[in-house]
Amino acid sequence: MNAVVVALGKIGLPIAAQLTNTGHSVTGCDIDPAVVDAVNAGRAPFPNEAGLDDALRAAVTDGRLKATSQTAAAIAAGPDLVIAVPPLVVDDEGTPDWSALDAVVRDIGTGLAAAAQTGHRGITVAIETTVPVGTTRTRIAPALAAVSGLRAGIDFHVVFSPERVFSGRILQDLATYPKLVGGLDPAGEQRGVALYASFLPDVEVRAMGGAEAAELTKLAETTYRDINIAFANELARHADGLGIDVQRVIDAANSQPFSHIHRPGVAVGGHCIPVYPRFYLAGDPEAQLPAVARHVNEAMPAYAVGVLQDLLGGLEGQRVLILGVAYRGGVKETAFSGAVPLRDNLRARGAVAVAADPLYTPDELRALGFEPWDGMPVHGAVIQADHAEYARLQPEDLAGVRAIVDGRGVLDPTPFTAAGVPVRRLGGG
């Protein structure tokens, strides 16, 4: 099979690698010249994705993978499959900015038209970007038809197949979880199932009976996680009031097979869980639980700051270190990171907020709106990201610190409490 993967980000590039791992030829497309150059050199343009560097080196060396910035030209060559994973940028309220996805769709449509002129019809276009329900049928397919002058379901096929992977282990997840495929019609869906099965031999490729079912499944699984985390966070706050360790409660509850309570934390960040409940609510405005869960989870940074304020006896003029601006450990991404509301809440209460993160340079932190920590003494600290480095922190690493709020439950408190520094885990009692 010949395939084109459009947008070589943290989802698209591992998918391209998986295609080449199973013997297929791939042209990867991206508008960033630095990404194109890195891929053509067999080098991942982002860190910490297990197995990706080795897979890229092998694919480029063997000639199975090449990258380009010319999407339409790559599709004009007549691939069997086009997989598009462009980012869908959203604002603080989760409202989509369609410009990137629309631009990719225009390029694909232009490529489909050129391919048809040389006899290449029946190309399957798969969208993996998470979108509100109905987007594939009412926005993407009509736009492809309008640009190409071709007929969806006859001259080309469109399916929606949501990405269901976790940064840092994407190749592993591709080989673990069922792949969902929903089409605009039965024939197109079955074609999509067959194409995905050709490079995902270890998992079930499941026909969903329509693009809308596949779209809703993605929103359902992510919204469930947001609601579950919100309940864990409410348990944590209640346990703090009772003086009970919430993790002991959650572990005990989950020892019964019908309980699957997640872990509480200082924030819910990333491109997915804070955003996709908004997509769900856009399609089901009468739903109540997703809206309440968003409210609960968005309040956790302020709650953590309040805990630190109580420990220090006030925050006015206090120098407080935010440990981790990434939205989670080991991932150099700040989408909806809890570090931002932590910083804003600290400043609102009169604290001087500084930040550190092993994945970011001081200049990168400044560009993100944070004052980099200079290593000088601080009064308090909040662990925002569960970087592995933070599990090994010692009192001498945080000169002058008088209180710590562990927002992720990663810190060993023993050396700090032995030094007279209180450590409070959210829900720690």
Identify the three-state secondary structure at position 200.
coil
Give yes or no for a contact between 425 and 250, defined as CB atoms under 8 angstroms apart: no
Q: Which residue has the tokens 């996709």?
A: 276
Q: What is the pLDDT of residue 140?
A: 98
> Tens of pLDDT along 382-406?
999 999 999 999 999 999 999 999 9
Given pLDDT bands bounded at 50, 70 and 90, which one contains residue 219? very high
Please count the helices (runs of H) and the strands (runs of E) in the chain.
Answer: 17, 15
Beta pairing class for 65-68 and 25-29: parallel
The residue extents of the domains of the chain are 2-209, 245-429
Which residue did the predictor score with more confidence, 89 or 326?
326
> Tens of pLDDT along 278-324?
999 999 999 999 999 999 999 999 999 999 999 999 999 999 999 99
Distance CA 238, CA 249 (A): 11
Order of strands across the sheet with 156-160?
A: 65-68, 25-29, 2-6, 81-84, 123-127, 156-160, 179-183, 205-207
Superfamily of domain 2-209: NAD(P)-binding Rossmann-like Domain (3.40.50.720)
Distance CA 234, CA 282 (A): 25
> Tens of pLDDT along 248-267?
999 999 999 999 999 999 99
Name the CATH topology of 245-429. Answer: Rossmann fold (3.40.50)
Residue 275 confidence (pLDDT) above 90 = yes
- Structure tokens belonging to residue 323: 């440990």
Residue 93 confidence (pLDDT) above 90 = no
Q: What is the pLDDT of residue 89?
A: 85
- Structure tokens belonging to residue 250: 């959650």
CB-CB neighbours of 159 under 10 Å: 32
Nearest to 107 by CA among 82, 80, 135: 82
| Cβ contacts of 125 within 8 Å, gap of 6 or more | 82, 84, 108, 112, 144, 156, 157, 158, 159
Domains 2-209 and 245-429 share a fold: yes
Residue 87 confidence (pLDDT) above 90 = no
